Amino acid sequence: MVSEHGAVVRIERTTLERDGVVVVRGVVPRELALDVAAASDRTIARLADDIDRPVETYMRSVSVWRCRSAAVGGVQEVQAPVAELVSALLGQAVTSTKTSVIRKSRHSATGTPWHQDAPYARRTPYVVSTWLALDDAGEGDAMLRFLPGTHRQAPAPLVDYWRPDFVDRAPDTSAREVVFPVAAGDVLVFDPFVWHASLPCKSGRRRLAVSARWVTPDCAWTVPIPSPVDVEFGMRNAGSVTEDVLRAAYKRFVGPAPTEKTDLLAAWRARLLVEAPAGVEVVRAIDALVRLGTLDVAHHLHDAGDQEGHVYRDIWRSLVGPLRLLDVARRA
């Protein structure tokens, strides 16, 4: 492995300190990385089958699998050389935390907006993140992009890109964007405060990666991180707002609402096939309700999530938002 050579490690460490990001090639043998990617896809297909969902529906609802998921358990064999790399770069022992498998494809093709990672982990400090490519990612394959040096800027509040009114903006900086094409087995190591994003997956090809955060025994944030900004609907409250609005609107338009969320979503799907309140996009809303039901089950059973917030944004635009407007008009 390249990090076994002391001079190379020093260069990598210098680059990481200067830019906030460094790419290290061939940390994991390419064929092993590709084998793990294929095995991960088989595991994900099995997870879909376990909850009686078509793979297509499951993939359109879920795009990240976290620590307790079987999808993550299958990638542990490729994390050992990554741990060695991070330990060599930092010069001390490290432990991984919040390991995730992230899947981009035609099912989840939207690029990830510009953000820093640290604001999403205000209470759980760590030292660096790693992003291990399990697939080749070149032009059109949702490559990661960074603004080198921006890790030295003051941290911003978390970027809530689940908001319906969200507009993706790069931070105010003179840094020039760098895009990283990678081969399977390459690793990006980056600072929690460096601004980064991903391009859209225009090719539709699978792009699997293993993301991990790394801690040392005494790590702590050295600068204060701003508190999140409260929003009407976003990643911190989308679930509760959606359920509250759907329950209240069902009572108003139909009658007593089901107690369980799963039953509530099914009741709304059935109702929309008969009659829809004004402003509701019926086809899109039914599709979003199906995907939300899938996401909820996958979250509880597979420790899975919707990284980009597609499901909740779609259900807001097609159903929850119009219902909210109707309620506001009724109260006026």
SS3 (DSSP) at 52: coil
At 3 the pLDDT is: 45
Check if the beta carbon of residue 81 is closer than 8 Å to that of residue 4: no
Q: Which amino acid is at 96?
A: S
Name every residue whose Cβ is closer than 8 Å to that of residue 280 and which is 6 or more positions away in sequence. 272, 318, 319, 322, 323
Confidence of residue 77 (pLDDT cuts 50, 70, 90): confident
SS3 (DSSP) at 193: coil
Q: Judge whether residue 8 has pLDDT over 80.
A: no
Q: How far apart are CA 323 and CA 248, in angstroms?
A: 9
At 177 the pLDDT is: 97
Other C-beta atoms within 10 Å of 283: how many?
A: 9
Q: Judge whether residue 5 has pLDDT over 70.
A: no
The per-residue pLDDT for range 191-246, each reduced to its tens digit, is 999 999 999 999 999 999 999 999 999 999 999 999 999 999 999 999 999 999 99
At 292 the pLDDT is: 98
Q: How far apart are CA 290 and CA 275, in angstroms?
A: 18
Q: Judge whether residue 107 has pLDDT over 50.
A: yes
At 331 the pLDDT is: 79
Tokens matching residue 279: 């402003």
Confidence of residue 7 (pLDDT cuts 50, 70, 90): low
Beta bridge partners of 178: 146
Name every residue whose Cβ is closer than 8 Å to that of residue 122 and which is 6 or more positions away in sequence. 221, 225, 227
Q: How far is CA 234 from CA 169, 229, 241, 245, in A?
A: 17, 10, 9, 14
Mean pLDDT of the chain: 95
Tokens matching residue 129: 């993140």
The per-residue pLDDT for range 238-291, each reduced to its tens digit, is 999 999 999 999 999 999 999 999 999 999 999 999 999 999 999 999 999 999
pTM: 0.94
Average pLDDT over residues 77-83: 94
Q: β-strand 187-190 against 21-24: which pairing, if any?
A: antiparallel
The per-residue pLDDT for range 138-197, each reduced to its tens digit, is 999 999 999 999 999 999 999 999 999 999 999 999 999 999 999 999 999 999 999 999
Q: Judge whether residue 300 has pLDDT over 70.
A: yes
Confidence of residue 330 (pLDDT cuts 50, 70, 90): confident
Strand order across the 304-305 sheet = 21-24, 187-190, 128-133, 207-215, 95-104, 64-65, 304-305
Q: Can you give the length of the chain in residues? A: 332
Strand order across the 144-146 sheet = 178-180, 144-146, 196-198
All domains in the chain, ordered by first residue: 2-215 (2.60.120.620), 238-331 (no CATH)
Q: Judge whether residue 22 has pLDDT over 80.
A: yes
At 11 the pLDDT is: 87
Confidence of residue 20 (pLDDT cuts 50, 70, 90): very high
What angle, rounded to 10 degrees, do the helices at 321-331 and 238-253 form? 60
C-alpha 101 chain-centroid distance: 9
Q: Judge whether residue 2 has pLDDT over 70.
A: no
